[in-house]
Amino acid sequence: MENSWLTIILVFVIIGGMAFFIMISTANDVDKVTEAAVQQDISTFVKECANEGCVTAEKVNELQTNINSHGILFDLKIWVERKSDTPTKKTTQLNNGMTEATPFITEEYTPEDIKDMRGGLKLRENDLLGASAENITPTNEDSHSGNTGKDYSTMKPQAVETVHTTGTN
């Protein structure tokens, strides 16, 4: 009789372990699918805005809705790298005490910055437009691994595109 109870308990422990293993491996797959979907959303956004020459509040709202619809909240950042009109005035201090002219100026924007701009963010030809999203909620992998606090997965999809047309006024 004791052997049958031991067998029953052992079966339940094995089934529980298998269920836990399946849950962990599925969580990793869900995170990868979510990251790929968000990467696609960001790439589409950057390409469309670079082709139009303008980043509008409507496009930013649409992107935020799309990336947050996957069940994970993301912190969206948009940046533009522009060639400086006066590269000799913008310099970078090097470790050896020398300075070098910086030909590019990087400007970072939050979605709120774009929404506050009348007519959106105008882009110039040959600007580099980039966007990235960093998750700000624990992902499935974090939840099932028992991690707590601000220990999130490194889900940081991003895209960069060169602007080929000038924004319309």
The pTM (predicted TM-score) of the whole model is: 0.64
- Report the pLDDT value the prediction gives residue 62, as an integer from 0 to 100: 92
pLDDT, mean over the chain:
75
Q: Which of 2, 20, 32 is nearest to 155 (CA)?
A: 32
Strand partners, 39: none
Q: How confident is the model at residue 17 (pLDDT cuts 50, 70, 90)?
A: confident
Token pair for residue 41? 């959303």
pLDDT digits (tens, 9 = 90+) for 61-110: 999 898 888 777 888 889 888 876 665 555 556 666 666 666 777 888 88
Q: How confident is the model at residue 162 (pLDDT cuts 50, 70, 90)?
A: confident
**Confidence check: pLDDT of 167 > 50:** yes
- Report the pLDDT value the prediction gives residue 58, as an integer from 0 to 100: 92
What totals of helices (H) and strands (E) does the chain contain, helices first?
A: 4, 8
Helix (H) or strand (E) holding 55: strand 54-55
* Of the listed ranges 12-16, 43-47, 111-115, 144-148, the one predicted with least confidence: 144-148
Overall average pLDDT of the 120-143 stretch: 77
Higher pLDDT, 50 or 149: 50
